[in-house]
Structure 1
């Protein structure tokens, strides 16, 4: 009995967390207004209706790419998990001013950009490297709260 309990605790210690990218209501990725995101062709994750304008990094890593309009941020976490933070917009011409640059090391909670009344998505683009992941949706979250729990 002790052997199984020790193994269970060991597995829990391997679990890591991806935070939300803003304070707001977290919802299933299939409900994001952008069809490329909601179809999950880019990967799996969650959407957020942001209740404030600050968009932050959901994890620690390196910014590997930023879209020309500042709406998408690619982050390679230190453990190899690849994230996309996508901010949707009604205006195709709207350009956001990134608070980071490509190649920069960032930590969870570091500002990426600001946008009023944003809908955002956090996507894991390489879920195939994960042995386990679970996404918690439906609750209003602070950007310090974990939404995805995963194991490599």
Structure 2
């Protein structure tokens, strides 16, 4: 049995299966395994301790790498890249170290929702490291236990 990594819910909202995301790369798990959130809030918190490895110019997506090498992508919205960063504010930069629960991103929920879907996939982009993944679909508040990942 490998090491277990717990992920905490990065946004207050409803947890749904990736199959509910209206985007081929996410719902077919091409980007990686995980779940999605239907946000009820505008603040995004780090689900794990780690290092920021990616902040898209449009600020709609952030990548985090844990010390175990697990790489997460938090992708706020579908087609939100077309907003070119309008309605988004990042609190972190590439290379920053974060702790689970640190505020990493803000998005203007109402503004983004008028322009794009706000469903937010949270995926592990290097799924080959995963032995088993357990998703807590009852999690609803930011910082609740959301996902447990057993590494190979």
TM-score range with shorter-chain normalisation? 0.7 to 0.9
- RMSD (Å) for aligned C-alpha atoms: 1.9
Unaligned runs of 5+ in 2: 111-117
What secondary structure is seen at the aligned counterpart in 1 of 2:76? strand
Unaligned runs of 5+ in 1: 1-10
Return structure 1 stretches of 4+ with deviation > 6 angstroms: none
Q: Is 1:106 the counterpart of 2:98 in the alignment?
A: yes
Residue matched to 1:119: 119
Residue matched to 2:133: 133
Q: Kindly indicate whether the alpha-carbon contact (under 8 Å) linking 2:139 and 2:145 is maintained by their aligned counterparts in 1.
A: no
What secondary structure is seen at the aligned counterpart in 1 of 2:128? helix
Aligned residues: 140
Matches within 5 A, 1:1-150: 14-89=3-78, 92-95=82-85, 96-115=88-107, 116-117=109-110, 118-137=118-137, 139-150=138-149
Structure 1 Cα separation of the partners of residues 139 and 134 of structure 2:
17
Structure 2 Cα separation of the partners of residues 33 and 112 of structure 1:
25
Q: Kindly indicate whether the alpha-carbon contact (under 8 Å) linking 1:20 and 1:122 is maintained by their aligned counterparts in 2.
A: no
